[in-house]
Structure 1
């Protein structure tokens, strides 16, 4: 067993690409070793902005030898009329490296039996450049020099060591050897590695902490130590910490300050300037108030750190000056004037202006507010918010810091005298801002967020701008996912298909399929039964909240003993009703057995309360009430009898079962085998 080290030295990789790139390299290396039957214990990952490295531990000396049997042509075509081997059998034999006489007849086919010897690990690893590195894919590529080769950033050096032996290969004009590189500024020298195993311990001597997790822990410890020393509170934001970790090779945290006068600007603005624009960690005093300080991390040691502090403070102050200026200037503006100017701002060339978008949103909001059961006051707040909610797009602050759209709208709305519900809705209408982002907290904000997304999706589908494949330039999938999550959280029960049909437009059928696909995706991320998800989203109603709840309810019962027979009985009912050309009304006069009457009574007892039942209660009622009555019916009743009136009456009775159960799910799609 041996260790193998592969290091790809690069120009600085963007922070957001470092982690996915090293993960991909490890996955591709794993696949390469498995495909070549080269056993190993584990792969250890190392990464910095300038290097992607994997250390394969416990690597076998050679690949595993195997005996292989390959199926060839059938005996019918193996020989010609004169008994000679056919061209088909000769071609197959050549391809397998054997002669026709070596083939073995097994049943109706000839097989080639081969023994494949193991291959030395060093010979296989020489293919790493072509089989692993060159096949990596990225969201962002670079091409350098006159080369056609594309990679995330230009490759500067390559290390390929099997224990102390260089496994050489070429990639463009770079030949893999044993020389790594130190920190670009603190130790810009070549580092000769004697063997693969010393990599993680030797690189720190040259100011490179190659272990990303260890480096992140060191950054966290330094930041927390500075916070404790100054009696501050600090949050190690996960995404920010990950980003900072991927822009340094040797971290040194330091403290900076800014003039307390800037604290008159809303904290959200200051935090955005520090966290999002400068990658600083904001700090708070013991009362939870934003302090005029920040903590940042240098890519280097503490030497001349005072100059680094001054430079970072200078850059931040320039941003804070802009923020203070826009904060003061924006307060001179009137909401009505800004709203009026939105008529000249294009939502999309094929759709119209933002003013038109807001007008449609207001109409949709009025309908949804009714469904959502809002009070008269809340409906008025929704209407007011819908009239103005995009006004902050024309403020100087949002023009400079677009991350603050909605946030500044709330601030300026409150200053202008709008009530808290309206102001909060302006902020919340953008939520969620990511797949699992926070959802609106208020009813008014939830309605506005939902209808803004509904009108956006309706508008784009109406003009034929429909996402296809991975192409989704207007983020409509994200909009529908957010809409679905809001509807589920607020438990709004309504027929979405009927709702959007109230508004004129094209491609509504495609839109419904699009929404259904999003609901399916959300459910499949949480449930492992595709058939149950399909059943839930294909019920008789396009009720999104009902789809979500039904899927979880049915899935929670899948291992219970009555589940299988209940589903099978309901499915049999559905399949029989599908054969009917026309369904009439049930008339008990035509019942010929007690089983028919019992099923009829069971259905009749549920009709009045069914719509108000929860999905859990509906499912339990189906399993323990309807399903036994259906089973008794099938044991004693023949549905497809010759008497047409009796047959139609029985189909009509079963159709009532389908109507009831269909409001929960299409049970015929559930696999019980």
Structure 2
């Protein structure tokens, strides 16, 4: 068995591409090898900023020989009067067999010639010579470049190529116009610590050879080294490093031989908000900030940078990086002080110059709209005057920091700086907190707003964006969602559910669309289509979140949304909190077995009830069931069960507590099963129309009670 080494040497690659390239190789290369009939014992993937590499162990020297069946020409074309034609002879020759080996078989399209022929295995070197250019040039990513006068595209120029099968060089060339990169045994070590080229004599021992040249080619091992060095460096100044997983992954792919270096800056910069200093360090400089303790918000005047230089020059490196961060922090301090020279609301007029979306006007216009929406939400929630005033003020100010110098420099700090500037301006604490919180959650797994003011303003902001962008016809499709509208709708439902806000989302959508229709600055082509699209969009989000995030079975979600019955969907939009609770309750009673005790009977009753004409909202048997038409005691027992069930259902409707309803349905199910199959059972579809209608009304009433919980017809019996 042989070992194959591929190393693609480049100028410094973007860190994001390094990780992506290895992921693409992991997906593609095992499949390509399998399709080429080359088994491999193991594949190791390596990468640094200057190289992508892999080592395949346990490769055969050639493919195994194999037998393969081939279909040839039709029997009619292959043989004339029992003799082979040129078609048969050519087919046999192409497969390396005698014509006597051909056999005729019947197929759906008539008789055809077939043959089992031997395919000799090709040399592994030949196959790899074909696959390697595909592996290298088939990589995808953003911002690929051309260099020289050729058309070859890659994130950075390719400078060397190593292709060794054991100690044999596989010759191949990547053409790039007048430039050629031919495979060789030559590689390169660390740019500073080992600038001389090195020769790789064999594919094995690659890691060890490069390590001797001060290059750790294993990203996972480099990351472990960096983490250990950060821990030791932080301890050296009695600090705790703030290690962002994203930054750790990035710096891992920015260095070949990492050295953690502690740098310092002037303590006066600790007067800046920690978020600003951290953003300067992480975003601009790729530094790891240091805090006084693991859970302490207090920063220390130190940072850790991961150097790719000479460890002996660490003091000089620290000094240089310190000068850079001091300049950055000085800029941040200037922005911070300049922004605080005026109250936050003084920035509002500048929002007129910021475009939210060309057809929807400025950010100032958006603030006016979302403020009105927030007030509608406050009305729905029946908040007190003090809370309503805070909601209005927070909505009014929530975008003001977008035009501050600090947020202009660091857009990621929108909301964060608004909160700080609001406090400095003397705004109420609830208003200041809401300015930050209304952006939450910013992504999957992010924290949710905790204050009512922040929740209301956040929902209002997203509703305005959703209705506005939908009105322009820019509805998410497939994986395309440039305005993150799915995330906005998800956030609205998550906030509503987490805070138990009893919102009528259907009414809110209606009101917001109506406001857009009345707005002379916005064009709504067809309000009814817009309303329908928004309702469908939220129902899709409802379904997806309950299945994916809450683990509710798909059929139980469908039962809450209704199977083709718009009343269920309308109820969910009017009471999304209740819709979630009913779905979770259905999941609970499925798991504890309660659903099984009522499912069959209720579902059977609901199917038969479709043949009647009882209004789905009727629950009281008074006036719809005539006891004088009963012919069996089972009918009397059925009516008695419905009479007992009525107050339980009414209580469930009033309190949205469905336990009593399910208990009542379970008790009724025993009686109804007697109605269907007991010794005094009845024929529902009696030939007497009045008796038939009476019995269908009994079943319709049971269905109507059950539909207060869900559409049982949508539930799939396990």
Q: TM-score range by the shorter chain?
A: 0.7 to 0.9
Q: Which moved more, 1:564-573 or 1:122-131?
A: 564-573
Deviations 1:177-211 (A, max 9, x none): 43332223332343322222211111112221111
1:143 to 2:146 alignment: yes
Deviations 1:293-329 (A, max 9, x none): 1111111231333332232122212221121112212
| Among 243, 249, 253, the residue aligned to 2:256 | 249
* 568 and 13 in structure 1: CA distance in 2 versus 1, 3 angstrom threshold: farther
Partner of 1:333: 342
Matches within 5 A, 1:575-590: 575-576=607-608, 583=615, 587-589=624-626
Partner of 1:102: 103
Residue 288 of structure 1 deviates from its aligned partner by 5.3
Partner of 2:539: 516
- Whether contact under 8 Å (2:381, 2:503) holds in the other structure is no
Matches within 5 A, 1:629-644: 631-635=673-677, 636=681, 638-644=683-689
- Whether contact under 8 Å (2:648, 2:660) holds in the other structure is no
* 386 and 13 in structure 1: CA distance in 2 versus 1, 3 angstrom threshold: same
Partner of 1:126: 129
Residue 351 of structure 1 deviates from its aligned partner by 0.9
1:600 to 2:642 alignment: yes
Helix, strand or coil: the match of 2:153? coil
TM-score between both structures, scaled by the size of structure 1? 0.87
| Among 355, 363, 367, the residue aligned to 1:358 | 367
Following the alignment from structure 2 to structure 1, what is the Cα–Cα distance between the partners of residues 662 and 47? 53
Partner of 2:423: 414
Residue 630 of structure 1 deviates from its aligned partner by 5.8
Partner of 1:183: 190
* 402 and 558 in structure 1: CA distance in 2 versus 1, 3 angstrom threshold: same
Q: Which moved more, 1:206-215 or 1:364-373?
A: 364-373
| Among 399, 405, 408, the residue aligned to 2:408 | 399
Structure 1: tracts of 5 or more residues without a match:
none
CA RMSD between the two structures:
3.9
Matches within 5 A, 1:636-655: 636=681, 638-655=683-700
- Whether contact under 8 Å (1:71, 1:109) holds in the other structure is no
- Whether contact under 8 Å (2:46, 2:54) holds in the other structure is yes
- Whether contact under 8 Å (1:72, 1:109) holds in the other structure is no
Following the alignment from structure 1 to structure 2, what is the Cα–Cα distance between the partners of residues 176 and 564? 68
Partner of 1:197: 204
Q: Which moved more, 1:320-329 or 1:81-90?
A: 81-90
Following the alignment from structure 1 to structure 2, what is the Cα–Cα distance between the partners of residues 3 and 519? 52
Following the alignment from structure 2 to structure 1, what is the Cα–Cα distance between the partners of residues 640 and 94? 70
- Whether contact under 8 Å (1:602, 1:629) holds in the other structure is no
Following the alignment from structure 2 to structure 1, what is the Cα–Cα distance between the partners of residues 71 and 557? 40
Residue 280 of structure 1 deviates from its aligned partner by 0.9
| Among 466, 469, 478, the residue aligned to 2:475 | 466
Following the alignment from structure 1 to structure 2, what is the Cα–Cα distance between the partners of residues 91 and 620? 76
Aligned residues: 672
* 403 and 177 in structure 1: CA distance in 2 versus 1, 3 angstrom threshold: same
Partner of 2:565: none
Partner of 2:279: 272
Partner of 1:285: 292
- Whether contact under 8 Å (1:567, 1:668) holds in the other structure is no
Partner of 1:260: 267
* 267 and 563 in structure 1: CA distance in 2 versus 1, 3 angstrom threshold: same
Following the alignment from structure 2 to structure 1, what is the Cα–Cα distance between the partners of residues 130 and 36? 11
Partner of 2:19: 19
Residue 370 of structure 1 deviates from its aligned partner by 4.3
Q: Which moved more, 1:517-526 or 1:317-326?
A: 517-526
Residue 670 of structure 1 deviates from its aligned partner by 4.2
Helix, strand or coil: the match of 1:196? coil
Following the alignment from structure 1 to structure 2, what is the Cα–Cα distance between the partners of residues 325 and 229? 31
Q: Which moved more, 1:375-384 or 1:547-556?
A: 547-556
| Higher alpha-carbon Rg | 2
Q: Which moved more, 1:341-350 or 1:60-69?
A: 60-69
* 420 and 581 in structure 1: CA distance in 2 versus 1, 3 angstrom threshold: same
TM-score between both structures, scaled by the size of structure 2? 0.82
Residue 622 of structure 1 deviates from its aligned partner by 8.7
Following the alignment from structure 1 to structure 2, what is the Cα–Cα distance between the partners of residues 496 and 95? 70
Partner of 1:159: 162
- Whether contact under 8 Å (1:343, 1:356) holds in the other structure is yes
Residue 334 of structure 1 deviates from its aligned partner by 2.5
Following the alignment from structure 2 to structure 1, what is the Cα–Cα distance between the partners of residues 577 and 51? 47
Partner of 2:520: none
Following the alignment from structure 2 to structure 1, what is the Cα–Cα distance between the partners of residues 710 and 644? 19
- Whether contact under 8 Å (1:495, 1:542) holds in the other structure is no
- Whether contact under 8 Å (2:340, 2:421) holds in the other structure is yes
Following the alignment from structure 1 to structure 2, what is the Cα–Cα distance between the partners of residues 4 and 362? 64
Helix, strand or coil: the match of 1:441? coil
Q: Which moved more, 1:267-276 or 1:626-635?
A: 626-635
